Chain A
Amino acid sequence: MAITLLSVAITISQAILGAIGSVFPPPIRGAVTNGNTIDGLAALIFAAILLLASMLNTIVLIWWERKLLGRFMDRRGAMHVGYAGLLQNFADGLKLFRKDTVKPREADTLGFWSGPTAYMVTSLIIFAILPISTGWNSGSLPLSLLLALAVFSFAPLFIFVSAWSSNNKYSLIGGMRSAAQMIAYEVPILLAVVAVVLVSGSFDLQTIVLEQTNYWYWVPLFLALVVFVAGMLAEMERIPFDLPEAEAELVEGWNTEYGGMMFAFFMLTDYLRALLGSFLIVLLFLGGWTMPSWVPAAATSFPLAGIFWFMLKVYIVFTIFVWIRASLPRVRTDQLLRVGWNRMIPLALLSVVLAALLVTVKCLPVLGCIPTLGG
């Protein structure tokens, strides 16, 4: 059996509990080292590793975006803290951490504090669901794709809660826009996913990736990819779809009233979601951690090769997002919603029909016939 993250966590847990248990006499030692305790601690360690990995990744992602945006803008980006500014984000985080978080007097306490927290937590949960390589997550959930998307779509609720409870007109308008936008783009995203599910025949992300070993879905399901990427841009609220926090008119929209660590939560979660969006695109359309057969075996068999290739793809996808951000203006709310309801949904439906056709015919014009289509 391959080494999985959970087995690593269990080994660490056993080692720690064994060391603690050896100090105590046998009755207590038995209680400390029994299976339930080990599993419990292992779950915590598993979560801690995930949290650390996703946070580190997010921070590197922010650094990458800053450097890349800098280059697009003919400047250098962060340069001074750490090598090429790698530690700049840690410095920024530390600064935000030290700052006082001010709550407006008239704001609703519960909503004001719980909104950003829940927004961040629900986004973090998804990292436990998404498989990064065969050895990464705990095991295959039969409906992991559905679960991931369900948790992903919590966000508008929490954004709206924090916007409404901060008792600011700009926040309210931003929250409204955000809710409208996310709901409008949830539908085409789900329809695009339906196309993937039809072709792969499974809701399990692990299976979907393994189905793509021979060919990646972006070729046969190109329309679904386009719909999914556009929808994800809207879900991630990045330019050209960053209206809820449109800086020029709404002053950061729904997070106007947040400062200090709460603002950092929002900022971090935005990038967490950008990372998640890139993960989903890679998993559903770009073959996850698998590589085509013409790649030499040596390049795919070194330790952690799956994670390496997966993250490489994720960063390439994210780079494209940054590129879009650096070169496009922002659209207007009504235009965005009109495109969402009037254009994206028909396109998504069309992609579903194409996928169904593909499953029935099992043949592609160029790639030839694929007997395994449809699971």
Chain B
Amino acid sequence: MSEMWINMGPQHPMTHGLWNLRVHIDGEMVLDVDPEMGYLHRGIEKISEDRHYNEVVTLMDRCCYVAGLAWEHLYILSAEQALAIRPPERAEWIRMMSEEFQRLGSHIMWYAAFVQDIGLMSPFLYGMRDRDLILDLFQSYTGARMTYEYMRVGGVRNDLPNGFTDRARKVCDWLIDRFVEYDRLCLGSDIFHKRCDGLGTMSEKDCVAYGVTGPMLRSAGSRRDLRKDRPYSAYDRVEFDVATADGADVTARYLVRMEEMRQSVRIIRQALDWLDRHPGPVMAARVPRWLGAPYAPIGNEGYLLKRNYPKGLGLSAIEEPHGEAQAYTVNDGGEHPYRVKFRSPVFANISAAKKYLVGYRVADIPPIMGSVDVCVGECDR
């Protein structure tokens, strides 16, 4: 068989979303790859310029549909910095707990999709089953299972319902037991190791040069985790370890994510204990009134309408389930953000595809891309 280009995508089971990986192959060997993005580009950054600060939260849920609360958190942190508003302490703990639950949900979703990629059928549904419990929890305090619209500039929309912490603890206990099963299904199988060991390696140096972050970077031995290095919310007040591995391959990324899930449960347990002991407000007392207005007059001059509000810039960076996400918010004193720019970890991770795909086989592409954990919604924005 001669050399040829094949399109893996936009509709292809490997992509887990809507993007196109053009692969140049010679027989089964991958000679070159060229990712084509943009199929899911909705112009969220542009739409944000036409929204109130709180309305952008709606868009954040659509950014990454498996980690909506993490993206809300990311945006809210930068918007609060730009607007110079501080949330009450309880809101920060709730946000942190939400983000960790979201990390669990996202990693379980990743696990389900990843094992499906290498042909393991049953764990896919185990993952879906267990993720449902987390979605139930989200539903109980945000009212939604996927698009939460929960966080607000200056706090969160509402407090946790009665009995939430007990339910959440039960879910944590259940999940910790399930992780053992997950490991036995994957690490206990020789075929899994044959498929995943030594695949898609990317050294720490390459990761840093190509902007690859998150579990991929930590699987190469780096200890970089923004929750430790640059603590936000209440991460400096909980105990947890940074999950790392050495292999820099697919198996190492698997190990890092599994360990991260365990650490997330650890953080959540501490957060639940704190939340039990510290009732209080979840919304800042002094928030400009127009922030909460659904439709303030816009007028024909569009977004040029200015309010006399202090200008500011906000940069937030969080350790999102896929890696390091950043938001840069420019507040020019108007009631809409002048510019919001997001850095998606998946965007950077995919941009390095040449580094970790070339030289392997066509059959290796699904496990490798699976280990990257692609979420196209946040990549294209």
Name A243's contact: one of B122, B192, B363 (CB within 8 Å).
B363
Q: Looking at the complex, which of A29-37, A67-75, A206-214 is the stretch in contact with chain B?
A: A67-75
**Contact A329 B115, CB 8 Å, known A249-B363, A334-B28:** yes
Within 8 A of A (CB), among B333-381: 361-366, 370
Chain B residues lying within 8 Å of A72, measured Cβ to Cβ, are 122
Chain B residues lying within 8 Å of A240, measured Cβ to Cβ, are 119, 191
Beta-carbon nearest neighbor of A69 in chain B: B121
Q: State the majority secondary structure of interface residues on A.
A: helix
Interface assignment of A114: CB less than 8 Å from any CB of chain B: no
- Chain A min CB distance to B234 (Å): 36
* Pair A239/B12 contact, Cβ less than 8 Å: no
Contact with A along B192-206 (1 / 0, CB 8 A): 101100000000000
Within 8 A of B (CB), among A162-179: 169-170, 172-173, 176
Name A172's contact: one of B1, B8, B125 (CB within 8 Å).
B1
Interface assignment of B6: CB less than 8 Å from any CB of chain A: yes
Interface assignment of A295: CB less than 8 Å from any CB of chain B: no
A170 to B118 CA separation, bound complex (whole angstroms): 18
Within 8 A of A (CB), among B22-77: 28
* Pair A334/B121 contact, Cβ less than 8 Å: no
Name A335's contact: one of B1, B194, B365 (CB within 8 Å).
B194
**Contact A329 B126, CB 8 Å, known A246-B363, A248-B366:** no
**Contact A248 B361, CB 8 Å, known A72-B122, A333-B28:** no
Interface assignment of A257: CB less than 8 Å from any CB of chain B: no
Interface assignment of A186: CB less than 8 Å from any CB of chain B: no
* Pair A246/B119 contact, Cβ less than 8 Å: yes
Interface assignment of A313: CB less than 8 Å from any CB of chain B: no
Chain B residues lying within 8 Å of A327, measured Cβ to Cβ, are 120, 122, 185, 189
* Pair B122/A251 contact, Cβ less than 8 Å: no
Name A329's contact: one of B1, B12, B28, B189 (CB within 8 Å).
B189
* Pair B191/A249 contact, Cβ less than 8 Å: no
Chain B residues lying within 8 Å of A335, measured Cβ to Cβ, are 194
* Pair B120/A328 contact, Cβ less than 8 Å: yes
Interface residues of A (CB under 8 A from B): 69, 72-75, 169-170, 172-173, 176, 239-240, 242-243, 246-251, 325-335
Interface residues of B (CB under 8 A from A): 1, 4, 6, 8, 12-14, 28, 115-122, 124-126, 129, 185, 189, 191-192, 194-195, 361-366, 370
8 more contacts with CB within 8 A, not counting A173-B28, A176-B1, A248-B13, are A73-B126, A74-B125, A247-B13, A248-B370, A330-B195, A331-B191, A333-B363, A334-B28
